[in-house]
Amino acid sequence: MTNILDDEQHLIRARVSLTQQIDRGSVVLASPLVEAFLNVPRHPFVPVFYRREGERFTPWRITDGDAEAWLDAAYTDDSLITEVDGVHAEQAGPGGVTGVPTSSSTAPSLMADMLDALDVNEGDEVYEAGAGSGYNAAMLCYLAGDKHVTTVDRSDALTALARERLNGIGFDPLVIHGDGARDVAPDMRYDRIIATASVRRVPPLWLERCRTGGILVVPVKGTLAGGMIARLTKLPDGTAVGRILHTPAAFMPLKSGTEVEAQVPEIRDRPCREAELSGRVLDDWTFSFFAQLHMPRGLVRTYGRSDDGLHITTLYDPADGSATRIEDMPEATPLVTAAGPRDLWAPMEKAHQLWRRLNRPRREWFSIEATPDEQTVTYTAPDGQIYRWPL
């Protein structure tokens, strides 16, 4: 082990640097959060993380060459990928792996935004869905006291590592291997509930177990990146109401139950029409959250490039088998090819028209309301007209 981790002054400077990076961004840190970031180390929770090298993810350890560069990366305001297709960075060979990231340590500035919205006080009972590396749980322990924190993760390996590392820096919260949307102790009620993985709708059990006056901070996302973070307060009638935070977020989905990923069918040559928009518009995070409000709950989006290097998006709704391909064309209008009963791109074109007509409203201008039976997002335009979308 390199001596850099034995140099307390060096580690303090790293935590100070991270706090300054967050403070220079869009997050204005409250003093309790400043104290938490200055006192809770990040590096014990990410002893190995992946570097992206083309199509491969290569594990990076402090012993792999420049220890100072590794420590700087660990304390950079960026997300650190810790697992790819279920392979934790600590189990990966030196050649790395290919696949899709399945767990990461969230960018600290996004953590700060969410923790600030959660408004944790000492003694609050806190429930976290998605233990991940354990770093966010450590922040919760610092803010509320470790005996008041419960964190859950569906991965047995991640749960064990998070517990070990939390204990290693002196915190002993309740760490559970289970389903974050369902494995809530029946006798517990919480003042604060936070998720570090995304859901399509707020799980009813979280609404039930949140005390009146309690706060929930939950990433809400469907098939598109750049989802929403909802900040909700529980009312005496059981409803939770609040607003969307300004920060976009592309959290990995919370695994719950037995999800089966839909296989998008190939759309063979059929009659096509000209598109008003390229499928690339769905990659615009200022629009994607609004587009998601107009999509069926189970809709799947895939995308890639043609042999000519041009963008192709495919939308598929397993509910009725509708599938639609949107292809960029060389120096021409994109083309839409639809199979099944519905053209899935037409609602996106209409959504974009509405978004522009409303002067591209920002996330934080939307409110959200959730009951066990119904969840809606609402926007009130300056002229008083109200728009509502079910989640």
- Give the tens place of pLDDT for each residue, 233-255: 999 999 999 999 999 988 888 87
Quote the pLDDT of residue 46.
96
Quote the pTM value: 0.94
Quote the pLDDT of residue 246.
94
CA distance 86 to 80: 15
Which of residues 309 and 256 earns the better pLDDT score? 309
Which of residues 154 and 27 earns the better pLDDT score? 154
Please compute the mean of the pLDDT values over residues 216-221 and round it to a whole number.
Answer: 97
Quote the pLDDT of residue 1.
44
Which of 21-35, 111-125, 337-351 is least confident? Answer: 21-35
Quote the pLDDT of residue 264.
86
Query: Is residue 6 pLDDT above 90, yes or no?
Result: no
Q: Tell me the per-residue pLDDT of 155-174, one tens digit each, with 9 for 90 and over.
A: 898 899 999 999 999 999 99
Strands (E), the chain: 48-53, 56-61, 80-84, 87-88, 101-105, 126-129, 149-153, 174-177, 190-195, 210-220, 228-234, 240-244, 272-274, 300-305, 311-317, 322-329, 332-339, 366-370, 375-380, 386-390
Please provide the average confidence, as pLDDT, over all residues in the chain: 93
Query: Is residue 128 pLDDT above 80, yes or no?
Result: yes
Quote the pLDDT of residue 39.
97
Query: Is residue 183 pLDDT above 90, yes or no?
Result: no
Please compute the mean of the pLDDT values over residues 369-385 and round it to a whole number.
Answer: 96
Closest residue by Cα to residue 250 from 316, 197, 292: 197
Share of the chain above pLDDT 90, in %: 80
Quote the pLDDT of residue 228.
96
Please compute the mean of the pLDDT values over residues 135-162 and round it to a whole number.
Answer: 95
The model's confidence at residue 71, banded by pLDDT at 50, 70 and 90, is: very high
Quote the pLDDT of residue 367.
98
Q: CA–CA distance from 387 to each of 9, 150, 248, 323 (Å)?
A: 54, 37, 21, 27
Domains of the chain with CATH codes:
3-91+102-244 (3.40.50.150), 272-355 (3.30.160)
